[in-house]
Amino acid sequence: MKIIKVLGSSTLIGKYFIDTNVDYELVCFSRKNKNHTYLDLQNQDTFLNFSCENSFIVSFAPIWLVKNLIKKLEENNLNELKTLKGVILYSSTSAVTKRFAANAFDKTLIKELISSEKEILSIFKKYSINCQIIRPTIIYGVYKDKDDRNFIKIINLFKKFPFCIIPSQTGYRQPIHFSQLSELTYLLLEKLNKNKHKDKINQILEVGGDEEITYSELLKRLSIVASGHKNKRCKIITIPNKLFYVLIFPLLIFKPKIFEALFRMQSDLSGFPKYSDYTGKSSVQFPKKYFNYL
């Protein structure tokens, strides 16, 4: 039985990945779930609870926190680290789409993402350990008590307000469902497992949903979800882009992060390899499913 050490087991993808596992023996680590082995990636004292000997590592946790664990393993448990069979970690396409961000929060995020990816890949390449870093586009969906924290906020706003004003011209998005990322993780694990004596894998994979849609169309579909497919729903009102930017300009002074998020509506944040490109499965339109959103 192949053993996987799972980090970020309390995340949206992590919970689904654990519940749908059928092929692996999972050892889960968490600082929240009392049924899992305690590990706080922000507290190096708890790293003593982590062993990776002769196993795979799959992490859905923030990659900059995982980097600290890996560096500590290299420093204190190098012989054990060298026994790793393969590693799959999650990052974000924000490393690409937000590289020209102006607000301090996004600039720090990008720096953390890119530097962590480089350091991790460098360490595993040094010891010839298979490592793949997945950069997904924006993730959506709800599973049990976890939600995407992105579109759920929009849906809740649509339930409260009768209309929403957006710019008439918006860029494209490529949202991906959390269950698709879980399935992709399994596929990559199988490939790593079969790659024992072949060329080592040390790469970053970018992946998005199967459908590229404009942000305005995305909001229209979310308004349908929010209404529960009833006739009464939040009305999407479009106005000229220049007028929209005039209206949101005060946010540049008081809420620069929110201003930049609204300004990015016109940007194309798509064009990434699709889920179906990696899996060969049929394309799925957005939204795939929302479980208990309705």
* Sequential pLDDT tens for the chain (294 residues): 689 999 999 999 999 999 999 888 999 999 888 889 999 999 999 998 899 999 999 999 999 999 999 999 999 999 999 999 999 999 999 999 988 888 888 899 999 999 999 999 999 999 999 999 999 999 999 998 899 998 999 999 999 999 999 999 999 999 999 999 999 999 999 988 877 656 778 999 999 999 999 999 999 999 988 888 666 789 999 999 999 999 999 998 889 889 998 999 999 999 999 999 999 998 989 998 765 443
pTM for the full model?
Answer: 0.93
Give tens-digit pLDDT for 232-246: 789 999 999 999 999
Same domain (yes/no): 234, 155: yes
Backbone angles phi, psi at 101, to 5 degrees: -60, 150
What is the three-class DSSP state of 52?
coil
Query: What is the residue whose two structure tokens read 């009833």?
Result: 230
Question: Which helix (H) or strand (E) covers residue 239, if one does?
Answer: strand 235-239
Same domain (yes/no): 71, 180: yes
Give tens-digit pLDDT for 62-85: 999 999 999 999 999 999 999 999
Which residue segment(s) compose the domain that 20 sits in?
A: 2-139+176-207
Same domain (yes/no): 73, 114: yes
CATH of the domain at 124: 3.40.50.720
Same domain (yes/no): 133, 196: yes
**pLDDT of the residue at 193:** 82
**pLDDT of the residue at 290:** 66
- The CA distances from residue 187 to 62, 82, 165, in Å, are 21, 23, 41
Query: What is the residue whose two structure tokens read 């944040």?
Result: 269
Query: How many domains in the chain?
Result: 2
Same domain (yes/no): 26, 163: no
101 inside domain: yes
**pLDDT of the residue at 229:** 61
Q: At what angle are helices 12-19 and 178-194 packed, to 10 degrees?
A: 60
Same domain (yes/no): 38, 63: yes
Question: Which helix (H) or strand (E) covers residue 192, if one does?
Answer: helix 178-194
Please tell me the number of Cα atoms within 13 Å of 167 on its side-chain side.
Answer: 20
Length of the chain, please? Answer: 294
**pLDDT of the residue at 32:** 85
Same domain (yes/no): 10, 61: yes
**pLDDT of the residue at 197:** 53
Same domain (yes/no): 254, 164: yes
Angle at the Cα of 251 from the Cα atoms of 169 and 221, rounded to 5 degrees: 40
229 inside domain: yes
Q: Distance between CA atoms of 83 and 2, rounded to whole angstroms?
A: 13
**pLDDT of the residue at 293:** 42
18 inside domain: yes
**pLDDT of the residue at 198:** 64
92 inside domain: yes
